[in-house]
Structure 1
């Protein structure tokens, strides 16, 4: 069993990129919906959970209909990284304040790091004449944190966003208003790698080629001598599933082609 990072998805268009970056560090991760219950979070501990990442979203954390982060996320004792909406939800639910911003940021920004936190210490793209370390990042937000939760310190800022990052290092809670998963954030991969390997303490013991043999063995064990029917549309997901299952059980698999009406012409 591999140590793992749990990514909770709140609807960001780039949640899959978070998983890609984590896996690129050699750490196993899984994406699950942001509204899983507390029992699910606690059950992850027995499966090697070492840290949790909260994705971005188009929603506002203060809206009544917005998804809330399961309370267990902040109770099970593993480090947590909030990204964009994830940061705002963390702030709201732990006693801070989030408000609509009259100066939205979408695109390139330069963020100043504060406080020498474990997450950002030593990471910079350039220095200002005053000696402040700066990060070139990608912002995408219409709301902003305006008051820190108890126990948190400011970790980053921009001229228009005073709290562009926050941290409670005693509990291992970190959050950034920018998106480290996109290539436009120059130090993004270094930031995520530091979170999962240094702060969460994950061993870098996973890679995709090895996952194939692990998946095949697990399928073979699960199926045994049974027969399997697979709906095959020709898309990436069902085609990969078909290849893995066929490698595991051969002629015990029967694929049924499903024309779902969205196939390419001819």
Structure 2
């Protein structure tokens, strides 16, 4: 059975990320971000870096980017990936949570390409990625955020600004299915 660790960055929807994976038949463990990767990684096929309130509260989450399994960052998780790997993160002009129409820029992307040409999501834009890191591709954008999703498929690193785990996001399960497929390769 596929096992994925959901690293809890203290976001309000983290338990829903774990539930979405379990609903897909994945053994999903919720792991506090104070847990070092070496205590988790040998036993998992992938890692989800959850959303959360603050970059200052990510514990060991940055260290999970060095593991040899696919990593999927959601909201703060994506921002953490960008910040750690040479991209930029800043305050969003839009602010809090809202329904957002997202344009899929790369229909061949393994994480969000299947959602092309557009999808409707639930996202917070208090903070957002303003520049993707070197080696990453912009895979989705919207009228309120230039970087709604990004991928480095060669390194199996992926991120979305929105929350695929909440009911307000259309086809959120499909995003998790696509990530699980990467973990099963």
- TM (norm. structure 1) is 0.66
Structure scoring higher RCO (CA < 8 A, sep ≥ 6) equals: 2
- TM (norm. structure 2) is 0.93
Against the structure 1 CA distance between its residues 146 and 69, is the aligned structure 2 distance closer, same or farther, given a 3 Å change threshold? farther
> Which of 101, 119, 123 is matched with 1:135 structurally?
119
Task: Give per-residue Cα distances to partners, 1:215-265, cap 9 Å, x unaligned.
Answer: xxxxxxxxxxxxxxxxxxxxxxxxxxxxxxxxxxxxxxxxxxxxxxxxxxx
CA RMSD of aligned residues (A): 1.6
Q: Is the 8 A contact 2:50 2:74 kept in 1?
A: yes
- The secondary structure found in structure 1 opposite 2:122 is strand
Q: Is the 8 A contact 2:94 2:125 kept in 1?
A: no
Q: Is the 8 A contact 1:68 1:89 kept in 2?
A: no
1:11 to 2:10 alignment: yes
Give the aligned partner of residue 150 of structure 1.
134
Give the aligned partner of residue 172 of structure 1.
156
Unaligned runs of 5+ in 2: none
> Which of 84, 91, 94 is matched with 1:100 structurally?
91
The Cα of 1:106 is off from its aligned counterpart by 1.2
> Which of 94, 119, 123 is matched with 2:111 structurally?
119
**Distance across 2 between alignment mates of 1:69 and 1:87:** 15
The 10-residue stretch of structure 1 (112-121 or 25-34) with the greater mean CA deviation from structure 2 = 112-121
- The secondary structure found in structure 1 opposite 2:113 is coil
Against the structure 1 CA distance between its residues 38 and 30, is the aligned structure 2 distance closer, same or farther, given a 3 Å change threshold? closer
The runs of at least 4 consecutive aligned structure 1 residues that moved more than 4 Å come to none
- The secondary structure found in structure 2 opposite 1:161 is coil
**Distance across 1 between alignment mates of 2:109 and 2:59:** 26
